[in-house]
Amino acid sequence: MTTSMPAVLERARAALDAVPDPEIPVVSIAELGILRDVTLADDGVVEVVITPTYSGCPAMSQIAEDIDAALDAAQIQPHRIRTVLSPAWSTDWIDEAARAKLRAYGIAPPSGACAARETPIHLTRRTVETVPCPRCGSTHTAVLAQFGSTACKALYRCLDCKEPFDYFKPY
């Protein structure tokens, strides 16, 4: 009995590693840091712990459905999803490999330090961050809009290659 338990968790982890983010399918929910833990609860249920990105991120319910479907497909029963708020999700949790995937997909990855401490409330006009273009690498870029196609992205454009691109905002 006890020897089979880690095997269940291993299968669960493998199934969950394959679940992509619904908005940015080149990275997984594990790589984004949304998937926090997979454990066996006291009542024998496989418990998947996730944390929301933005409070109003409309993808969270889709992510929960995708997790259910992946675990159902891997025949991991019973399972449940638990959402935790602390510690609050941060783009600092996105690792270098995932950042490279975002860049290749045309999204500038977030700057290393999360917004909570590095974007203080500016008492004077905001200084805009330098964001390298994910296509040509030029830092000659400008912000078009601080709110982009999803809650987590801002819209930029490259002044050298002239292409617009998404920037994954530090959060």
Residues of this chain that bind another protein (CB under 8 A): 52, 54-58, 84-89, 114-116, 119, 121-126, 144-149, 151, 155, 169, 171
- Compare residues 12 and 94 and give the one whose CB is closer to another protein: 94
Residues 141, 169: Cα–Cα separation, whole Å: 15
Quick one: 61 or 77, whose CB is closer to another protein?
Answer: 61
Q: How far is the CB of 78 from another protein (least distance, A)?
A: 23
Tokens 């269940």, located at residue:
8
Nearer to another protein, 25 or 56 (CB): 56
DSSP 66-131: HHHHHHHHTT--SEEEEE--SSPP-GGGS-HHHHHHHHHHTEEPPPSS-HHHHSPPPSSSPPPPP-
Report the nearest approach of another protein to the CB of residue 156 (Å): 12
Shortest distance, position 95 Cβ to another protein, whole Å:
20
Identify which of residues 102 and 154 has a Cβ nearer to another protein in the complex. Answer: 154
For the CB of residue 17, give the shortest distance to another protein in the complex, in Å. Answer: 25
The tokens of 100 are what? 């490279």
Position 128, amino acid:
V
In angstroms, the CA 114 to CA 43 distance is: 37
